[in-house]
Structure 1
Amino acid sequence: MVSIGVQTKNVVFDSDPAAGFQMLRDAGFSCADFSLNSYLLNTSLYRFELNDFFDRSDAELEQYFSPHKKGATAAGITLNQMHMPYPLCVPNGGGDLNDYLQQTVACKSMKLCAYFQCPHIVVHGFKLARNLGSEDAEWEQTEKFLDSLAPLARELHLTICVENLYNSAGGSLVEGPCCNARKAAERIDRFNDRHHGELLGFCFDTGHANLTGLDFESFLTTLGHRLKVLHIHDNDGVGDLHQIPFTFTKTRENTASTDWNGFLRGLKSIQFDQVLSFETAPVLSAFPEEMKFKTLQFIADIGQYFAGCLSPS
Structure 2
Amino acid sequence: MRIGVQTKNVVYDDRPEDGFRRLKQAGFSCADFSLNGYLTNISLYQGERNAFFDKSIQELEQYFAPHKLGAAKAAIEINQMHMPYPNYVPGGTRELNAYLREVVAPKSLQVCAYFGCPHIVVHGFKLAHFLGSEEEEWNVMEQFLDFLAPMAKEMGITICIENLYESTGGHIVEGPCCDAGKAAERIDRMNDRYHAEVLGFCFDTGHANLVGLDFESFMTVLGPRLKVLHIHDNDGVADLHQIPYTFARSRENKASTDWEGFIRGLRGSGFGGTLSFETAPVLTAFPEGMKDEVLAFVAGIGRHFRRALSD
Provide the TM-score with structure 2 as the length reference: 0.99
2: distance between equivalents of 1:236 and 1:224?
27
Q: Is 1:34–2:33 an aligned residue pair? A: yes
The match for 1:113 is: 112
Task: Please tell me the residue identity of whatever aligns with 2:85.
Answer: Y
Question: Does the residue aligned with 1:203 lie in a helix, a strand or coil?
Answer: strand
Q: Which runs of 5+ in 2 are unaligned?
A: none
1: distance between equivalents of 2:127 and 2:269?
31
2: distance between equivalents of 1:299 and 1:34?
17
What does 1:156-171 align with in structure 2 at a 5 Å threshold?
A: 156-171=155-170
| Aligned residues of 2:4 and 2:31 also touching (Cα < 8 A) | yes
- Report how far residue 249 of structure 1 moved: 0.4
Residue by residue over 1:290-309, the C-alpha shift from the partner in whole angstroms, topping out at 9 and shown as x without a partner, is 00000000000000000111
The match for 1:3 is: 2
1: distance between equivalents of 2:194 and 2:69?
34
What is the number of residues matched between the two proteins?
311
| Aligned residues of 2:174 and 2:211 also touching (Cα < 8 A) | yes
The match for 2:204 is: 205
2: distance between equivalents of 1:7 and 1:54?
21
Residue by residue over 1:53-88, the C-alpha shift from the partner in whole angstroms, topping out at 9 and shown as x without a partner, is 000000000000000000000000000001000000
Task: Please tell me the residue identity of whatever aligns with 1:31.
Answer: C
Question: Does the residue aligned with 2:249 lie in a helix, a strand or coil?
Answer: coil
Q: Percent identity of the aligned residues?
A: 68
Question: Does the residue aligned with 2:8 lie in a helix, a strand or coil?
Answer: coil
Task: Please tell me the residue identity of whatever aligns with 2:234.
Answer: N
Moved more, 212-221 or 261-270: 261-270
- Report how far residue 270 of structure 1 moved: 2.2
1: distance between equivalents of 2:204 and 2:267?
17
Task: Please tell me the residue identity of whatever aligns with 1:173.
Answer: I
Question: Does the residue aligned with 2:3 lie in a helix, a strand or coil?
Answer: strand
- Report how far residue 272 of structure 1 moved: 1.4
Q: Is 1:96–2:95 an aligned residue pair? A: yes
Residue by residue over 1:265-303, the C-alpha shift from the partner in whole angstroms, topping out at 9 and shown as x without a partner, is 010122211100000000000000000000000000000
2: distance between equivalents of 1:298 and 1:198?
34
- Report how far residue 253 of structure 1 moved: 0.3
Task: Please tell me the residue identity of whatever aligns with 1:67.
Answer: P
Question: Does the residue aligned with 2:283 lie in a helix, a strand or coil?
Answer: helix
The match for 1:289 is: 288
2: distance between equivalents of 1:62 and 1:25?
23
What does 1:16-165 align with in structure 2 at a 5 Å threshold?
A: 16-165=15-164
Question: Does the residue aligned with 1:101 lie in a helix, a strand or coil?
Answer: helix
1: distance between equivalents of 2:223 and 2:270?
9
| Aligned residues of 2:79 and 2:118 also touching (Cα < 8 A) | yes
2: distance between equivalents of 1:45 and 1:26?
35
What does 1:164-203 align with in structure 2 at a 5 Å threshold?
A: 164-203=163-202
Task: Please tell me the residue identity of whatever aligns with 1:282.
Answer: P
2: distance between equivalents of 1:80 and 1:309?
22
| Aligned residues of 2:226 and 2:269 also touching (Cα < 8 A) | no
Task: Please tell me the residue identity of whatever aligns with 2:239.
Answer: D
Q: Which runs of 5+ in 1 are unaligned?
A: none
| Aligned residues of 2:125 and 2:176 also touching (Cα < 8 A) | yes
- Report how far residue 28 of structure 1 moved: 0.1
Task: Please tell me the residue identity of whatever aligns with 1:298.
Answer: F
Question: Does the residue aligned with 1:258 lie in a helix, a strand or coil?
Answer: coil
Q: Is 1:255–2:254 an aligned residue pair? A: yes
Moved over 3 A (4+): none
| Aligned residues of 2:234 and 2:242 also touching (Cα < 8 A) | yes
**Pairwise CA RMSD of aligned residues?**
0.5
2: distance between equivalents of 1:76 and 1:246?
29
The match for 1:300 is: 299
Task: Please tell me the residue identity of whatever aligns with 1:249.
Answer: A
1: distance between equivalents of 2:28 and 2:309?
17
1: distance between equivalents of 2:17 and 2:87?
30
2: distance between equivalents of 1:205 and 1:186?
19
2: distance between equivalents of 1:103 and 1:215?
36
2: distance between equivalents of 1:19 and 1:59?
24
- Report how far residue 252 of structure 1 moved: 0.4
- Report how far residue 194 of structure 1 moved: 1.0
- Report how far residue 208 of structure 1 moved: 0.2
Provide the TM-score with structure 1 as the length reference: 0.99
Question: Does the residue aligned with 1:281 lie in a helix, a strand or coil?
Answer: coil
